[in-house]
Structure 1
Amino acid sequence: MRKPITDLIHHPYTPPPGFSAPQPGVFKASTVIFPNVAAMRARDWQHKAGYTYGLHGTPTTFTLEERIATLEGGKHCLLVPSGLAAIANVSMALLKAGDEVLIPDNAYGPNKALADGELKSWGITHQIYDAMNPADLQARIGPNTKLVWLEAPGSVTMEFVPLRELAAICRERGVTSALDSTWSAGIAFNGFDAGADIVVHALTKYPSGGGDVLMGAVVTRDDKLHRQLNLTHMRVGWGVGANDAETILRSLSTMAVRYHAQDMAARELAAWLQGRPEIGQLLHPAFEGSPGHPHWRELCTAAAGLFSVVFDARYGTAQVDAFCDALELFKLGYSWGGPVSLAVPYDVAPMRSARLGTCPYKGVLVRFSVGLEAVDDLRADLEQALGALG
């Protein structure tokens, strides 16, 4: 007779037959149990035909990978703990000492910081290129260039780059291109159809939708590229929790509706701000006059609920900070894509001018992420906060 504590651990469990629900079940595991030694030896962690260890996948994470691959129009997907981890996995997998990576000047800042730090210490060089000028990319690609990062639109300053042309240059020169497609979320445009070899996506943003989960994805169509990325993914030990995967699975069903609502709300607020005398320039790719608008119009069917404004030059940092502090519904915080509207002030000059010459933006910039609040309430919040400029 076994003791109750043993039976508690080894109590048999069989999923109930005939049970079905709108959302997939949640499977939590570090250890995966094998029926026998032969099965243990036969399974290969690199293939999803069987399960080997929780870090390498469960039914829950495999389902999310399949859905993200479908969303992005890819064949393979790897889940990682954050969007930055997705970027790191690509660079670590494809670059070695002596190689070079090219990064756009308007890219997500931590991507450049990774190149300045860890990649540099490993003997990997990098150059910053002007993504609005395809000729600059063409001129900078050299014999050691193995990876080019793309981002559309640019982070913070929202320039929409000539993505198809940039990707075509990479393909013609035999260099792998990787696109940070978080802004598009697989909805506004398809990164692979635009020519990218790899698409990374911060699932933290629109797929999560709640501002409460960190996760990223690396998506490919090419089997060879996937194998390279998968080996690094395993060796570094990237993994995601079942509860986080389940949260994103649940939110994916409503993502298109949320994306559209936030897109429309952002356009309405951006148009209102554009007419205000306190604003010097609107940076929203769906608006004429915003840098790269023709490229957005050519490629996209939608836009994220994200835009920036450059305040009129008569307002300095202290005054714009006072505006941000006066906001009530717009909270001060990083990230975007969640239900709560956010604002972040930026000093753009160090992000741009140190790399490629003079910064094109002459005032203080604030980026807005529009959430799911009523647009009238958000407009009223912006209006009362503008009064704090003095």
Structure 2
Amino acid sequence: MPREPRDSHSPRLATRLVKGGTSTPVDGGRAVNPSVVRASTVLFDTMADMNDARRRRGTERLFTYGARGNPTAFALEDVVAELEGGYRTRLFPTGLAAIAMVFLAYLRPGDHALISDCVYQPLRHFVSTFLEPWGVSVTYFRADGSDAASRMTPDTRLVYAECPGSLVYEMCDLPALAEIAHRHEALLVADNTWGSGLQYRPLTLGADVSIMAATKYLGGHSDVMMGTVTTTEAAWQRLATMSDAQGAAVSPDDAYLVLRGTRTLKARLTMHERHALEIAHWLTAHRTVARVFCPALPDHPGHALWQRDCTGTNGLVSFELANASNEAAERFVDGLSLFGIGASWGGFESLATVVNVAKTRTREDWHDAGPIVRLHVGLEDPRDLIADLSNGLDALEA
């Protein structure tokens, strides 16, 4: 796996996560964490000061009005930009809101977008209910990116990839996609929610824009929703301008919760990875399991790309049941005692759900696959989780 790039005088990323985005020094001591600044109105000493701030706020980050951000959110923006290795970051109320803003910022009616077949399902809903009726044409390409070049058109302005993909974690060659996009003067956008900036850094692999649902691992406690968008310097202004025009902002309380979550991100992900790999290896040997999906496993189709581009994995593991109906798979999930049933992931708790991959893919046919269960492996003792899964699989077989 690649080493983290750094110069000899720069602290490593895990250290910068703990130290970055802290309080502005004032007379006397200072708090470990930044203040929660709740504000709509912002006061200035003179009209000249206010007019000067308004002239500059289109290109500079200034505290001028609550809808344009606040100091607590600015602290989180700095940490996320550091995490992603980007120029600047904007925050949005949800991950989907962040995704939607990217398409609004960089596309116009008549443009064409290429989107990976393995994307987060609500993005497909956004495409069909807004983007295509708005006049943007969309083509989906294979999750591994193998047909992306052949689907580019003269009107393609944006290539959107999710890597690893939702549900079964397909890997794509992101540097190759970047070369294809940039050769056609298009932007490459990556959904980096899986990678969280620690295991995967799209901007260092050639992407122009990286999106994360901070709802997941950055928050880490299943109690806050947020999306982040980080860009290169060249791609920044269009995102910033559209975000200001839309009044996109997050509450300082939510920013504080996510900022607090980033402090333990490295420690939590280390545990998620260790527990998930233990369970993944156990599942591969179980007689009721046909396939296990995790890019860190040697037999995963994208394992070589994972080794080249990633520095670890997380708590997500999916597996296909052999000789079982979808109804039986749902009974299996219903019978688990330590796994909650929920659609999200990234918190400290373990979750399980049955997913329909065939419904979310148009470039590959998954209809012949058996039922697929997605696990998010949390911070519980993996021996207890394995015992719970074992009881459920034994009951399913019986």
The question of a shared fold, defined as TM-score above 0.5 by the shorter chain, is answered with yes
Q: CA deviation at 1:50?
A: 3.0
Query: Per-residue CA shift, 1:41-62, capped at 9, x if unaligned?
Result: 1103324453210111111111
Correspondence 1:53 to 2:65 = yes
Q: CA deviation at 1:299?
A: 1.0
Using structure 1 for the length normalisation, give the TM-score. Answer: 0.92
Is the 8 Å Cα contact of residues 310 and 361 (structure 1) preserved in structure 2?
no
Aligned-partner residue type, residue 200 of structure 1: I
The equivalences for 1:305-320 within 5 A come to: 305-312=315-322, 314-320=323-329
SS class of match (1:19): coil
Is the 8 Å Cα contact of residues 101 and 148 (structure 1) preserved in structure 2?
yes
Is the 8 Å Cα contact of residues 131 and 137 (structure 1) preserved in structure 2?
no
Is the 8 Å Cα contact of residues 201 and 218 (structure 1) preserved in structure 2?
yes
Q: d(CA) in 2 for partners of 1:133 and 1:59?
A: 40
Correspondence 1:257 to 2:264 = no
Segments of structure 1 that go 5 or more residues without pairing to the other structure are 1-14
SS class of match (1:98): coil
Question: Which residue in 1 is equivalent to 2:239?
Answer: 229
The equivalences for 1:66-81 within 5 A come to: 66-81=78-93
Which one of the candidate residues 193, 197, 207 is aligned to 1:196? 207
Question: Which residue in 2 is equivalent to 1:10?
Answer: none
Question: Which residue in 2 is equivalent to 1:174?
Answer: 185
% of aligned pairs identical? Answer: 37
Count of paired positions: 371
Question: Which residue in 1 is equivalent to 2:337?
Answer: 328
Q: CA deviation at 1:357?
A: 4.7
Query: Per-residue CA shift, 1:10-53, capped at 9, x if unaligned?
Result: xxxxx973131211111111111111111111103324453210
Correspondence 1:362 to 2:369 = yes
Correspondence 1:111 to 2:135 = no
Question: Which residue in 1 is equivalent to 2:159?
Answer: 148
Aligned-partner residue type, residue 379 of structure 2: L
Is the 8 Å Cα contact of residues 322 and 388 (structure 1) preserved in structure 2?
no
Q: CA deviation at 1:111?
A: 1.3
Which one of the candidate residues 28, 44, 66 is aligned to 1:34? 44
SS class of match (1:23): coil
Question: Which residue in 1 is equivalent to 2:311?
Answer: 301
Question: Which residue in 1 is equivalent to 2:227?
Answer: 216
SS class of match (1:356): coil
CA-atom RMSD in angstroms:
1.4
Query: Per-residue CA shift, 1:84-130, capped at 9, x if unaligned?
Result: 11110100111111111111111111112211110011111100101
Question: Which residue in 1 is equivalent to 2:351?
Answer: 342
Query: Per-residue CA shift, 1:298-324, capped at 9, x if unaligned?
Result: 111101111110111x10011101100
Question: Which residue in 1 is equivalent to 2:383?
Answer: 376
Is the 8 Å Cα contact of residues 203 and 216 (structure 1) preserved in structure 2?
yes
Aligned-partner residue type, residue 103 of structure 2: S
Segments of structure 2 that go 5 or more residues without pairing to the other structure are 1-24
Query: Per-residue CA shift, 1:251-300, capped at 9, x if unaligned?
Result: 11110110111011100001001110110001000001112111101111
Aligned-partner residue type, residue 20 of structure 1: R
Using structure 2 for the length normalisation, give the TM-score. Answer: 0.90
The equivalences for 1:56-135 within 5 A come to: 56-134=68-146
Q: d(CA) in 2 for partners of 1:311 and 1:51?
A: 53
Q: d(CA) in 1 for partners of 2:115 and 2:345?
A: 22
Question: Which residue in 1 is equivalent to 2:393?
Answer: 386
Q: 1:357 to 1:380 in 2, by over 3 A?
A: closer
Is the 8 Å Cα contact of residues 196 and 217 (structure 2) preserved in structure 1?
yes
Structure with higher Rg: it is 1
